[in-house]
A and B are shown apart, each in its own frame.
Chain A
């Protein structure tokens, strides 16, 4: 059986002909399909309702951000990173800033690190709320979407309050934060954090006991731990397959080692397990936020590095030296010592890693972004094979796909 056929379009891979496979059909799903969460195109080969093969076709949202980075100063890249995984803008900012800070070997003040942790966890909650709402919507439970977006709106208001932007926040800077947070900023977060656990109970009441939800999720999209490792799956889908790995705990960054939290694991390996793991993660995020609020250290929010960090507005207007530094950073950037670093953080969807190469100038020589969705998409075939088409929708929802991060 060496003969190969190329089906329907040139986009699908040639497959070997095996016996009576004339009955199969090639179905195109996306890129404008509501349940593919963006512009994911899947070419699915089906036998009746049974999925034989799923071939993801990506690149519809490719904007060449990695190329653009090479033409910008280091500090100008920060707002670009927001637009990659657009559901967790601050995590993108964090990983880029940490990478450049590692290149510069900058020490970040404790308060800035803690605020970064706090906002990073809020971002995770934001992303998980969008995931829960849209995932439930795909399965057919429309109400949950309205509930989760109500809470998400609160998070967006908090982000807007502190950074001036609801979604494309760009609040973190190389060397610290953009602004000193307002006095009542922490109170607003505390208010939100206090009500969130009962809202999570509410979602669970809506979904966990629901027979349709159970039938659509349990046993669907099975992914073994070996497959998950081999295919590069990280984050909640990996932890739902029993891989006990969380970068926040195992390779801590930005003071995460000072926080106590559990890493939820499940050995069920299915869509249901991913749902349970993410809900537990939301509860743990709430705990981390509470610890961050309770133990918030005092001090500056920017590193003491006048050649890298922009001076305060007040100083810039009154002191000649600060004015010169300000002028130099804005017009010619700051040189970063040559070298290469890889910095990874635990994002809402999994491991987010930036590989930044510097050649000693003020612009990055190369910025490579490792985003979880790109690798997780490779596991789609393993999760969908032999299942029904409707399960493909459940599986896509369960890996929490964001095309912005996959196509970059």
Chain B
């Protein structure tokens, strides 16, 4: 979708952004891709470092986790796009962190140690998408019944039942 040049151009244009600056000062590998579209900044971050990245973004002033959700790009790979919306009350701006998770091992570190608010959201993503969160204190289904089979928001799960 994005060439390297668009990533570099976006990062150059937003090098003063607090999230970008603090991630860069920790490691240049923390931003795999960057996109600025419709006034919203999206940073693709490595899946293995998500907890660390969230910690850095939090200490950069983005204090409030708004939501954790997922997008299923079936049949593409990596299939799951785990998405974090993080708001800064002080800066009055928002950053979107994205981590791509493949379907062979759909799992990622839980960010509940950084924001306890992620608890229900990660349970919801597990329930509806089947992405597991390592280190989550209580990873159970939350909306669907406990004995439900499958994960309804996956694109290969039918809207109106199997025919």
With contacts A67-B159, A230-B115, A231-B116 known, is A351 near B66, CB below 8 A? yes
Give CA–CA (A351, B138) in the complex, Å: 25
Inter-subunit contact A232/B143 (CB<8 Å): no
**Which residues does chain B contribute within 8 Å of A245, judged by CB atoms?**
89
**Which residues does chain B contribute within 8 Å of A357, judged by CB atoms?**
71
Minimum CB distance partner of B119 in chain A: A378
Inter-subunit contact A355/B117 (CB<8 Å): no
Q: Shortest CB–CB separation between residue B135 and chain A, in angstroms?
A: 16
Q: Shortest CB–CB separation between residue B140 and chain A, in angstroms?
A: 8
Q: Among the listed A232, A250, A341, A365, which residue makes an inter-chain contact with B117, where contact means beta carbons less than 8 Å apart?
A: A232
Is B16 part of the contact surface with A, judged by Cβ < 8 Å? no
With contacts A245-B89, A342-B96, A353-B85 known, is A232 near B37, CB below 8 A? no
Inter-subunit contact B42/A340 (CB<8 Å): yes
Is B83 part of the contact surface with A, judged by Cβ < 8 Å? yes
Inter-subunit contact B120/A375 (CB<8 Å): yes
Give CA–CA (A62, B148) in the complex, Å: 13
- Of residues 320 through 378 on chain A, the ones whose CB sits less than 8 Å from some CB of chain B are 339-342, 344, 351, 353, 355, 357, 365-366, 368, 370, 374-375, 377-378
Q: Shortest CB–CB separation between residue A103 and chain B, in angstroms?
A: 7
Inter-subunit contact A230/B117 (CB<8 Å): yes
Q: Shortest CB–CB separation between residue B163 and chain A, in angstroms?
A: 14
Interface size on A, residues (CB 8 A): 42
Contact with B along A176-209 (1 / 0, CB 8 A): 0000000000000000000000000000000000
Contact with A along B34-59 (1 / 0, CB 8 A): 00011010100000000000000000
Is B145 part of the contact surface with A, judged by Cβ < 8 Å? yes
**Which residues does chain B contribute within 8 Å of A340, judged by CB atoms?**
37, 40, 42, 71, 96
Inter-subunit contact B116/A230 (CB<8 Å): yes
Minimum CB distance partner of B96 in chain A: A342
Minimum CB distance partner of A68 in chain B: B159
**Which residues does chain B contribute within 8 Å of A103, judged by CB atoms?**
38
Is B24 part of the contact surface with A, judged by Cβ < 8 Å? no
With contacts A10-B146, A67-B159, A243-B89 known, is A232 near B115, CB below 8 A? yes
Inter-subunit contact B65/A368 (CB<8 Å): no
Is B106 part of the contact surface with A, judged by Cβ < 8 Å? no
Is A47 part of the contact surface with B, judged by Cβ < 8 Å? no
Residue in A70, A250, A251, A366 with the greatest tally of chain B CB atoms within 10 Å:
A366
With contacts A59-B145, A378-B120 known, is A250 near B65, CB below 8 A? no
Is B63 part of the contact surface with A, judged by Cβ < 8 Å? yes
Is A146 part of the contact surface with B, judged by Cβ < 8 Å? no
**Which residues does chain A contribute within 8 Å of B120, judged by CB atoms?**
374-375, 377-378
Inter-subunit contact B37/A339 (CB<8 Å): yes
Q: Among the listed B69, B71, B128, B143, which residue makes an inter-chain contact with A407, where contact means beta carbons less than 8 Å apart?
A: B143
Give CA–CA (A342, B84) in the complex, Å: 11
Give CA–CA (A58, B115) in the complex, Å: 21
Inter-subunit contact B115/A355 (CB<8 Å): no
14 A-B pairs whose Cβ atoms sit less than 8 Å apart in the complex? A64-B152, A66-B128, A66-B153, A103-B38, A232-B64, A250-B89, A340-B71, A340-B96, A342-B96, A353-B85, A366-B71, A366-B72, A368-B83, A370-B67
Please give 11 more A-B residue pairs, beta carbons under 8 A apart, in addition to A229-B64, A340-B71, A344-B66: A59-B144, A102-B38, A232-B115, A340-B96, A342-B40, A342-B96, A355-B67, A366-B71, A366-B72, A374-B121, A378-B117
4 smallest beta-carbon distances between A and B, as pairs: A232-B117, A370-B67, A368-B69, A59-B143
